[in-house]
Amino acid sequence: MSITRDEVAHLARLSRLALTDAELDHFAGQLDQIIGAVARVQEVAAEGIPPMTHAVPVANVFRDDVEVPCLTPEQALSGAPAAEQSRFRVPRILTED
């Protein structure tokens, strides 16, 4: 067993997924199987091999500092679940304690 149900519950919390108990049972078995399979990467001799993050080695891409049109407030808010006074309205982010 490479991953336990409790660990999956912890991952779900980190991932902001309010999983049901049934989902936790189901995913725990599947994730265990997947992690067991992908752990094969550890068989590859990689001593001194640099990690590859990107297919094309590009860094520091600059553009001229020219103003370009951007979204209007109406456009930016057009998909908002809730909006007020040209702002996104969100649930409370602080707790009492």
Partner 1 sequence: MAAGDAPTGSELTRLSAAEIAAAVASGDVSAVEVTQAHLDRIVAVDPDVHAFLHVAGIGALAAAEGVDRKRAAGEPLGPLAGVPLALKDVMTTADMPTTCGSKILEGWRPPYDATVTKRLRAAGVVILGKTNMDEFAMGSSTENSAYGPSHNPWDLTRIPGGSSGGSSAAVAAYEAPLAIGTDTGGSIRQPAAVCGIVGMKPTYGGSSRYGLVAFASSLDTPGPLARTVLDAALLHEVMSGHDPCDSTSVDAPVPPVVAAARHADVSGLRVGVVTEFSGGGSQTGVQARFTEAVELLESLGAKVVEVSCPHFTYALPAYYLIAPSECSSNLARFDAMRYGLRVGDDGVRSADEVMALTREAGFGPEVKRRIMLGTYALSSGYYDAYYGKAQQVRTRITQDFEAAFEQVDVLVSPTTPTTAFPLGERADDPMAMYLADLFTIPSDLAGNAAISVPCGLAPEDGLPVGLQIMAPALADDRAYRVAAAVEAALEQRWGGPLLAQAKELREQAGETR
Contacting residues toward partner 1, per CB under 8 A: 3, 7-8, 11-20, 23, 26-27, 30-31, 33-35, 37-44, 46, 49-56, 58, 61, 63, 71, 75-76, 78-82, 88, 90-93, 95
Residues 5 and 19: their CA atoms lie apart, in Å, by 12
Residue 47 CB, nearest approach to partner 1 (Å): 9
Residue 75 CB, nearest approach to partner 1 (Å): 4
8 burial (CB, 10 Å; 0-12 / 13-18 / 19+) is buried
Whose tokens are 């409790």? That residue is 6
